[in-house]
Structure 1
Amino acid sequence: MRFYQLLLFLLISLTAFGEKSPIKIKGHITSGKEHIAFASVSINEGQLGTHSDDTGHFVLELEKGKEYKIEISMVGYQSIVKHITADKSGELHFNLKKDLLELNEVIVSSSRRAQNRKETPAVVNVVGKELFASSNFKVASEGLNFISGSRVENTCGNCGATQLRLNGLEGPYTQILIDSRPLFNGLIGVYGLEQIPVSMVEQVEVVRGGGSVLYGANAIGGTVNILTKSPEFNAFEVGSSFSTIDGKSNDYNVYFNSSLISNNEKTSAYIYGSFRQRDAWNANPEDVYYLIDEDGNPYGNPIKDDFSELTALSTYSFGSKIYQKLNEQHKLSLDLKYTKDERRGGNKLDLEPHEADLTETIDMHIGSASLEHDWFSTNKKIHLNNYFSTQYVHRDSYYGAHQTPDGYGLTTGSTIVGGSQLNLDLGEFFGGENFFVAGMEYIHDQINDKKLSYFDEEENRQTDDVTISDQVSNTYAVFAQNEWKADRLSVLLGARLDYVDIKDLQNPENNKSLPAFNPRVNMKYKLSEDMQIRAGFATGFRAPQMFSEDLHIEVSSGQGVRTILDPNLEAENSISFNLAWDLDKTIGGTQVYLLTEGFHTRIKNRFDNQFDYMEDGTLILFKRNSTSDAVVEGFNFEAKVAPSEFFNVQGAYTIQSSSYEEENQWGDEDSSTSKFILRTPNQYGSITTNYNISNQWTASLTGVYTGKMYAPYIPGGFIDGELTTEETLIETESFFDLGFKVSYITKLTKDTKIQLGLGVNNIFNQMQESFVSGIDKDAAFVYGPITPRMFYFDIKIGNLLQ
């Protein structure tokens, strides 16, 4: 540690040597005849920076006679760069052109430092405010369907669990980050994306392909970085929405957020809160089922289906992010969040869970806190970020059927993430700028899963709590990368070394310790000012530990299903390649963006689940390593066209193949085999259009296409009144979920606007052909759009609405 401190001292001394007293330089920013308020002013790649005030003016303190590179950026406008020599003559003027496709966002996920998206060595997609506003999106996951290679799906009809697939790979292969921190631990991943309200999200950045070199395990399919809002200006917004399916099954949402900045701009805070309540919905209330005797035969009178396909839920979220600027070199930030999420599916939802025929319910509490310290050298060429984050999760649950009393469970999880990251601007080297990043990180994750005690009437006694899983994982990591950036060519080289120590407190003989080394190479070459190609190579891994999907105890054939790890389970490994070409060009008055990306990912030693039974008859998923590799490859396409500032259209489409090299069993050892990776369509895509009818009226059209795929069905329930007795693979139909919204905005007061919206989602009511009925139905037999046709109305009031 002394060597590290000495090195840092020398770097500070060298960069501080010879600095002179600053002079004040004034400037203003316009677009046409209008001044642009709150635009970002960045000096020398972020060494210094400020914002324009509410009149579009700014003041900089620069060293007299020195040359500077000034970049002005603002969401909705094309960035502009000027090289100046600081003196006292005149006032700087920057005139921005509108960025009709919003391609110039500042992102951090590609290389772990802030930079313009167009300049990143890897392809990064961004879900921003405009897309969230184009429909009745309430949570972060709903916007991810509109990125090529990305698809959000429902995986359980009882509890409403969802997962994100990137490039066809299942949810556990995607690393989900909150403000660049891996706090999506092995417990909240199943429901986490539905627990993040849009009101707290600034933007969502998606990097497809391996990225373990930056963020550790699980980043095989890609990385999703959810960046929460930060206080930049004094602002507020409140809003509410009401959605209904049939006038009986409704979805209510209300939220607020506010940013507060002190007069000296040294203290700032962002506060948010949201509440959502959704009623359960039954897709097939006219279908019937029968009770089943011990021999598996139906008997008695037909019973009308009363099981939910859309889960009832109630979610509260609130939090605050506070910044304190101690001086020009030191800044502290504190981030606090709390979420309470209740959801229940099945039937007889007004009764106690064990009194219903089939119930899956959770009551989850999530609390997190993060503290960061940022230090900058006087010339901002050195940035040291130290961070500490912690999260605790408490989940009460019930998973069971046939009014069984032993379905209650308690799962707790704690996560600690601590680390330090050093960013260095090394200046010019071999004709290009060099940016070096190095750091170390510690991740502690503990999960305890219990089956709670109950009164056993047959034995006339109270049973004891039974611990299903008690696992502790500690990860120690170091990483480093260097980005060399010339006029046309950029090269990024990096590597990360993880040492994962896993302790199974239930079965110490299953303890594991393993190192994992993962390199990364990314290259970008500018063919012209408008056209560039990118290529990437990366490896990835997943440690042999409990993951979020392992702790989702779904109900199958009337039994709760739990996961047990093979004592010999080894880590998964992956290798991925990608090659992309993109064009960003203005032709006449039309701005056009095109992207074609090819990708290939191979997963070795992959985890494979097989059904089995414990001695007490409990149905389990036995997780082991497969001898068959999985290969996912294909092409992502994107096109964005904006003929004018009043109209734009954007589309994304993916064509891929997802398969195992050898046929893979699904279900138990006697079940069918398939080479297909199940629940993965070979074609899917999306489209969005926005039309500004006038300064006050806007219309938006959004659509998500899902192609055919193979979905597994485990027998036990009734389809169209007939008992299903065989495990089968269903080739699903294709779906097109189309939505429409019209919005009206006007001034409420001098500084406040009000926006009203009216719309409909899933206009053509695209849903799967058949739903399963009965107490013993397969809860995982769901596919296609998550919700049916839904009408909605929303209202927003704020001082920064556009």
Structure 2
Amino acid sequence: MRKLFLWVVLLLSFSARAQNTLHLVVKDDESKQSLVGATAYIPVLKIGAVSDTSGRITIKNIPAGKYDVKISMVSYMAQEKTFTFPLKTADQNIEVFLEPMSGELAEVVIQTNRTGRNRSDIPTRIEALPPEELDEKGTMRPGDIRMLLGEITGVHVQNTSPVSGMASFRIQGLDSRYTQLLQDGLPMYDGFSGGLSLVQVSPLNLKQVEIIKGSASTLYGGGAIAGLVNLISKTPSKKPELSFLINQNTAKGTDASGFYSKQWKNVGTTIFSSYNYNGAFDAGNTGFSAIPKTNRFMVNPKLFWKMGSKDSLWLGVNVMHEDRLGGDIQVIAGNTDSQHQYFEHNISDRLSSQLSYTHQLDSASQLNFKNTVGYFNRSINQPQFSFKGAQVSSYTEANYVRNGKYASWVAGADIWTDKLTPQNGSVNLGYSRNTCGVFAQNTFKPAKWFAVESGLRLDGNTPSPAAPSNGVFLLPRVNTLFTLDEHWSSRIGGGLGYKMPDIFNDDAEEQGYRYLQPLNVGAIKAEHSAGVNADVNYKGAVGHAFLQVNQLVFLTKVNDPLVLQHNAFVNAPGYLTSKGAETNVKLLMDELGIYLGYTYTDVQRHFNGLTSAQTLTPKHQLNADVTYEIENCFRAGVEGFYTSSQLLGDGTTGRGYWTFGLLVQKMWKHFDIFINAENLTDQRQSKWGQIYTGPTSSPIFKDIYAPLDGAVVNAGIRIKVL
């Protein structure tokens, strides 16, 4: 009898413990829409559940007692609520509203495709670096965007001068001339002015960077064969901002910048200014500058004006002056003799205006007008050689945008002008080029699981290149998006592109424009291309972590590529192919983030029936990044990069190498302090052999494929007055 009584007591006790059930309905705090895939978890009991299609979460078998319940979802701020069981009202549906994140996991609104859609809804594959990542990279190298772009899979930064610090970037192994660099959607770094763009743009004035890999010709012209990079500047908000940054590094470099922004009722402004100085630095005691002596000043004010409820305007001015002197350390110091004569001296001035006007026709459509006019003056001086030229360029575009329930349209026309005039009796490398284009793009989403973006562009160029194009190009492009479920999606697309012949490319920069022959555009064919790419994406929760995986494959063919032969650019007898794959893996666990990226690139020349590998193109690149961050409080990260061996121009092979970096940053309300170390293991090409041949008075430099500046540590402070 006693045993029976005990069994009854235990059974009743178990029933009491098992009868408690929690019913939640999780919704978006802004849209009030139910959220699918949200998680509720009771840490003490190690039990939880995921919301269904109506946002409902049911957790059963909860013992009596008081428990903390954590409700979370990717791209939303997690909440923690406390419940006492049994609840006062059984089976009650308790609503929980989650606030969308503004950080790394938040939905990113894309500007490059003009429709203002979220990145996850766009058939064109567009990568975006958010403000948090730009903030991190800005403390690593405040003076330029080389590091920012060099850490992106599929992008390779290539030194174009061994002594002057100049560099270009290649997307998917293709020369930098096949990539467009835009500032707020405007082409400000084309032609002659593009040679210094990578080292003259600061990341501190940017709020987002958007990258398209592969043909992007519909909206931005034929030059975007390999892709484009759109640098999007900060805009004012109602909360004013006034901040200053001071940075010092062990390679004799100093950076100072200031930023102010404020939005009043109808008028706003941003003002960015910076000064960058570097002393000549020879890390490997080669006798030549791994980092040149540099003085640069920049100021970029902008005015934003809301003219009523339908019209808005912003205009800006960019002013920059730079003096960059590299070469023999003795010559830079002012000591010259028969053995110490070599130098490379670049003096450049950049002045440009930007204007953007929008008129809202109704809630779904708008008219846009934008324009930039640029003046760029650069002198290049070497022993017994000097070239000086002034470039005047402009870009004007008018477009119409309509966003409907199932379809969006962008249609418009643009005019490019570009003229370079040699000065002071310099060799005649001048040119004049005009391009008129019309374009249309449609994004159609007939179902939740499928969307297609198609575009067509027609360009006319003068002066005309050689037949068959005669300056007229028709460029179609199609991209599709398949959304299989909340975890899996895929993009497949491709298009045509072209590049008008000019001499301003990596080969010309590496040669310093010395001995180059003028280009006869009418006797040379335009380069034209066809490219395709496809990717597969996965995102979802893995336990308490969030996992993102992207796998991309690509193929681009460039016909009649320009090559340098006997100091003249000519069409190669054949074509160029670039194929490969990119893998990106991101794992986020509360404050910890782990990122892995791998790029495989195979670029081959098919000339005269023979196949050979493209020089200075590593087949394998690997980057890894582990970051621990407490928002607005603390950040620490360690990163590593591997670059495989690569073929050099003299037929030899440059060795593969690893580099490692470390960043620690502490944030308070009104100031941050940071310390960063790059290339901790001091990997330098000068450690593995001579970087030049011949006498020091007239050196012949080898291809530069690895760092020359060695280990560099920088530290600084950012003061946030407002």
The TM-score, its normalising length taken from structure 1, stands at: 0.74
Equivalent in the alignment of 2:61 = none
Structure 1: tracts of 5 or more residues without a match: 1-35, 45-75, 81-91, 286-304, 428-432, 453-464, 612-620, 665-672, 713-727, 748-752
Q: Please state if 1:610 is matched with 2:565.
A: yes
The one of 327, 333, 342 aligned to 2:308: 327
Q: After TM superposition, give the deviation of residue 497 of structure 1 in Å.
A: 0.6
TM-aligned CA distance change 1:638 to 1:94, over 3 Å: same
Comparing 768-777 and 757-766, the one that deviates more: 768-777
Tell me the secondary structure at the aligned position of residue 729 of structure 1: coil
- Distance in 2 of aligned mates of 1:573 and 1:385: 30
Equivalent in the alignment of 1:207 = 212
- Distance in 1 of aligned mates of 2:433 and 2:631: 56
Tell me the secondary structure at the aligned position of residue 565 of structure 1: coil
- Superposed, which structure 2 residues align to 1:227-242 within 5 Å? 227-233=232-238, 234-242=240-248
Comparing 385-394 and 193-202, the one that deviates more: 193-202
Q: After TM superposition, give the deviation of residue 165 of structure 1 in Å.
A: 0.7
Q: Please state if 1:190 is matched with 2:195.
A: yes
Equivalent in the alignment of 2:276 = 276
- Superposed, which structure 2 residues align to 1:759-798 within 5 Å? 759-768=676-685, 769-770=688-689, 771-772=691-692, 774-779=696-701, 781-785=703-707, 787-798=709-720
- Distance in 2 of aligned mates of 1:121 and 1:383: 22
The one of 657, 667, 675 aligned to 2:602: 657
Asked if the contact 2:182/2:231 (under 8 Å) is kept, the reply is yes
Q: After TM superposition, give the deviation of residue 622 of structure 1 in Å.
A: 0.8
- Distance in 2 of aligned mates of 1:228 and 1:711: 37
Tell me the secondary structure at the aligned position of residue 191 of structure 1: helix
Q: Please state if 1:686 is matched with 2:623.
A: yes
Equivalent in the alignment of 1:468 = 428
Quick one: which amino acid aligns to residue 143 of structure 1?
L
Equivalent in the alignment of 1:28 = none
**What do the CA deviations read for 1:219-256 (whole angstroms, capped 9, x no partner)?**
111111111111123112111110014xxxx1100111
Q: After TM superposition, give the deviation of residue 775 of structure 1 in Å.
A: 2.9
Tell me the secondary structure at the aligned position of residue 123 of structure 2: coil
TM-aligned CA distance change 1:735 to 1:268, over 3 Å: same
- Distance in 1 of aligned mates of 2:336 and 2:110: 45
The one of 541, 547, 550 aligned to 1:595: 550
Quick one: which amino acid aligns to residue 123 of structure 2?
P
Asked if the contact 1:497/1:516 (under 8 Å) is kept, the reply is yes
Equivalent in the alignment of 1:69 = none
Structure 2: tracts of 5 or more residues without a match: 1-27, 34-73, 79-94
TM-aligned CA distance change 1:106 to 1:43, over 3 Å: farther
Q: After TM superposition, give the deviation of residue 94 of structure 1 in Å.
A: 5.7
Quick one: which amino acid aligns to residue 707 of structure 2?
P
The one of 429, 436, 442 aligned to 2:415: 442
- Superposed, which structure 2 residues align to 1:470-549 within 5 Å? 470-485=430-445, 486-502=447-463, 513-549=470-506
Asked if the contact 1:530/1:584 (under 8 Å) is kept, the reply is yes
- Distance in 1 of aligned mates of 2:324 and 2:241: 33
Asked if the contact 1:691/1:698 (under 8 Å) is kept, the reply is yes
Tell me the secondary structure at the aligned position of residue 193 of structure 2: coil
Q: After TM superposition, give the deviation of residue 417 of structure 1 in Å.
A: 0.6
**What do the CA deviations read for 1:269-314 (whole angstroms, capped 9, x no partner)?**
01110111112222443xxxxxxxxxxxxxxxxxxx5222222211
- Distance in 2 of aligned mates of 1:163 and 1:181: 19
TM-aligned CA distance change 1:481 to 1:523, over 3 Å: same
Q: After TM superposition, give the deviation of residue 687 of structure 1 in Å.
A: 1.9
Q: After TM superposition, give the deviation of residue 710 of structure 1 in Å.
A: 0.8
Q: Output the aligned Cα RMSD.
A: 2.8
- Superposed, which structure 2 residues align to 1:196-595 within 5 Å? 196-233=201-238, 234-245=240-251, 250-262=252-264, 264=265, 266-285=266-285, 306-347=287-328, 348-351=331-334, 357-378=341-362, 380-400=363-383, 404=384, 407-427=385-405, 433-450=406-423, 452=424, 465-485=425-445, 486-502=447-463, 513-549=470-506, 552=509, 554=511, 560-566=514-520, 568-595=523-550
Tell me the secondary structure at the aligned position of residue 560 of structure 1: coil
Q: Please state if 1:174 is matched with 2:176.
A: no
**What do the CA deviations read for 1:544-575 (whole angstroms, capped 9, x no partner)?**
234354763735xxx93424325521100100
Q: Please state if 1:107 is matched with 2:136.
A: no
TM-aligned CA distance change 1:535 to 1:786, over 3 Å: farther
- Distance in 1 of aligned mates of 2:336 and 2:349: 19
Quick one: which amino acid aligns to residue 244 of structure 1?
T
Asked if the contact 1:604/1:630 (under 8 Å) is kept, the reply is yes
TM-aligned CA distance change 1:101 to 1:591, over 3 Å: farther
- Distance in 2 of aligned mates of 1:693 and 1:600: 40
The TM-score, its normalising length taken from structure 2, stands at: 0.82
Aligned residues: 624
- Distance in 2 of aligned mates of 1:178 and 1:488: 33
TM-aligned CA distance change 1:466 to 1:315, over 3 Å: closer
Equivalent in the alignment of 2:84 = none
- Distance in 1 of aligned mates of 2:336 and 2:488: 59
TM-aligned CA distance change 1:353 to 1:779, over 3 Å: farther
Asked if the contact 2:546/2:588 (under 8 Å) is kept, the reply is yes
TM-aligned CA distance change 1:481 to 1:42, over 3 Å: farther
Tell me the secondary structure at the aligned position of residue 115 of structure 1: coil
Quick one: which amino acid aligns to residue 626 of structure 2?
T
Equivalent in the alignment of 1:637 = 583
Quick one: which amino acid aligns to residue 223 of structure 2?
N
- Distance in 1 of aligned mates of 2:321 and 2:185: 23
Equivalent in the alignment of 2:655 = 733
TM-aligned CA distance change 1:155 to 1:625, over 3 Å: same
- Distance in 2 of aligned mates of 1:79 and 1:542: 46
Tell me the secondary structure at the aligned position of residue 188 of structure 1: helix
Quick one: which amino acid aligns to residue 370 of structure 2?
Y
TM-aligned CA distance change 1:147 to 1:43, over 3 Å: farther
Q: Among all aligned residue pairs of Structure 1 and Structure 2, give the percentage whose two residues are the same amino acid.
A: 21
Q: After TM superposition, give the deviation of residue 786 of structure 1 in Å.
A: 5.3
Asked if the contact 1:185/1:548 (under 8 Å) is kept, the reply is no
Q: After TM superposition, give the deviation of residue 466 of structure 1 in Å.
A: 4.3
- Distance in 2 of aligned mates of 1:372 and 1:692: 37
Tell me the secondary structure at the aligned position of residue 142 of structure 1: helix
Quick one: which amino acid aligns to residue 656 of structure 2?
S
- Distance in 2 of aligned mates of 1:283 and 1:77: 44
**What do the CA deviations read for 1:648-674 (whole angstroms, capped 9, x no partner)?**
01121111211112479xxxxxxxx97
Quick one: which amino acid aligns to residue 269 of structure 2?
A
Q: After TM superposition, give the deviation of residue 409 of structure 1 in Å.
A: 2.4
Quick one: which amino acid aligns to residue 684 of structure 1?
Q
- Distance in 2 of aligned mates of 1:580 and 1:563: 42
Asked if the contact 1:628/1:661 (under 8 Å) is kept, the reply is yes
**What do the CA deviations read for 1:340-365 (whole angstroms, capped 9, x no partner)?**
12111112113399996111111100
Q: After TM superposition, give the deviation of residue 101 of structure 1 in Å.
A: 4.4
TM-aligned CA distance change 1:123 to 1:680, over 3 Å: same
Equivalent in the alignment of 1:31 = none
TM-aligned CA distance change 1:496 to 1:352, over 3 Å: farther
- Distance in 1 of aligned mates of 2:103 and 2:183: 28
Comparing 96-105 and 330-339, the one that deviates more: 96-105
Asked if the contact 1:365/1:394 (under 8 Å) is kept, the reply is yes
TM-aligned CA distance change 1:513 to 1:799, over 3 Å: farther
- Distance in 2 of aligned mates of 1:43 and 1:780: 62
- Distance in 2 of aligned mates of 1:399 and 1:663: 36
The one of 130, 133, 149 aligned to 1:131: 133
